[in-house]
Amino acid sequence: MIERSRRDAGQAFPIYVVMVAGLLFLVFAFFAVGKAAALRNGAQGAADAAALAAARQIREDLEDQFLAALPERMLPVFLSGHAVPSAMPCAEAQRLASSNKADVTDCQVWPGGRRDTVRVEAESRKTVDSPVIPGSKQKTAKLHATAEVRFQCSWTSVDFNRDSIEDIYYFTCAKGSVVIKTSSPPPWSQVSKILFDVRLVDN
Query: Per-domain residue ranges for the chain?
Result: 2-148
Question: What pLDDT digit, counting tens, does each position of 25-39 carry?
Answer: 555 444 455 555 666
φ/ψ of residue 15, rounded to 5: -65, -45
As to burial, measured by CB atoms within 10 angstroms (0-12 exposed, 13-18 middle, 19+ buried), residue 90 is buried
Cα–Cα distance for residue pair 159/20, rounded to 1 Å: 84
Nearest to 198 by CA among 149, 164, 165, 131: 149
Tell me the average pLDDT across 107-132: 83
Q: Over range 83-102, report the average pLDDT.
A: 89
The pLDDT confidence band at residue 187, using thresholds 50, 70 and 90, is: very high
Looking at the chain, the whole-number percentage of residues with pLDDT higher than 90 is 56
- The answer to whether the CB of 130 falls within 8 A of the CB of 32 is yes
Mean pLDDT comparison of 13-17, 80-84, 130-134, highest-scoring range: 80-84
| Residue among 110, 121, 117, 107 nearest 48 (CA) | 121
Segment 173-198 mean pLDDT: 95
Q: Which long-range contacts (CB under 8 A, 24 or more apart) does 77-85 make?
A: 79/113, 79/114, 79/151, 80/113, 81/111, 81/112, 81/113, 82/111, 82/113, 83/111, 84/58, 84/109, 84/110, 84/111, 84/116, 85/61
How many Å apart are CA 179 and CA 142, to the nearest integer?
A: 43
pLDDT-derived band at 167, boundaries 50, 70, 90: very high
121-154 pLDDT, tens digit each: 999 888 755 554 555 555 678 889 999 999 999 9
Is pLDDT larger for residue 137 or for residue 50?
Answer: 50
* Beta strands across the sheet bearing 196-201: 102-110, 115-124, 142-151, 196-201
Mean predicted confidence (pLDDT) in 40-52 = 89
3-class DSSP assignment, residue 134: coil
Residue 168 has pLDDT above 80, yes or no: yes
End-to-end CA distance of the chain: 72
Nearest to 166 by CA among 141, 185, 187: 185
CA–CA gap between residue 136 and residue 148 (Å, rounded): 34
User: Where does residue 67 rank: exposed (0-12), middle (13-18), buried (19+ CB within 10 A)?
Assistant: middle
